[in-house]
Amino acid sequence: MGPLAPEIFKAYDIRGLYGTDIDADAAYLIGRGFTRVIADLEEKPPHGLRLGLGRDMRLSAPELAASYCEGMRVEGATVVDAGQVGTEMLYYLVGSRDLDGGLMCTASHNPKAYTGAKLVRRGAVALSGDEGLAEIRTLLDEGLPSPPGGGNVQEVSIYGDFQEAALAFIDPAAVKPLRVVVDGGNGMA
């Protein structure tokens, strides 16, 4: 695909058309750059990082999440892979397990032809153009050295923990019967 298009770097995420702007090779490089930037922000070596990973329901997500994951892993990070989850669940994973950061493979509300990544640091604080995203772009523009290798992947299921944490905010017995209309959010809600 060649160098990454600068317009995929938005104010608070990375987004573009699948296959045109972002493909598996681009995702791999973004995963590597993300790991290096988090290592700098956390002031620790990449092999000491624990990074969360999640993906949405887009058909391109399994392929791209695997490439993001491989990029993070070859930089030496431990990748905690939650699989197909909502973005809020990835943020919960990062916060509840005190991870150094996390990457959600998603293009949010954009149509299915789009893909991308939402990136957070410790505490599920979003990276932005002011902190983090510009640094990733610079690293990728300058070219990354050969990766050190190492790292590993831990697959986890967080559905039960997330539901329990969400229900802790209310008294389920105090909830009166309701008629509820649900917007399935493209199947991820």
What are the residue boundaries of the structural domains of the chain, listed by start?
6-187
- The one catalytic residue among 67, 108, 146, 157: 108
> Is 108 a residue of the active site?
yes
The model carries a pTM of: 0.92
Report DSSP letters for 69-110, one per residue: HHHHHHTTPEEEEEEE--HHHHHHHHHHTT-SEEEEE--TTS
Residues 24 and 152: beta-carbon distance below 8 Å: no
Q: What is the pLDDT along the chain (189 residues), one digit of tens a residue?
A: 557 999 999 999 999 999 999 999 999 999 999 999 999 999 999 999 999 999 999 999 999 999 999 999 999 999 999 999 999 999 999 999 999 999 999 999 999 999 999 999 999 999 999 999 999 999 999 999 999 999 999 999 999 999 999 999 999 889 889 898 887 766 655
* CATH class of the 6-187 domain in this structure: alpha beta
Q: Tell me the C-alpha distance between 48 and 100, whole Å.
A: 9
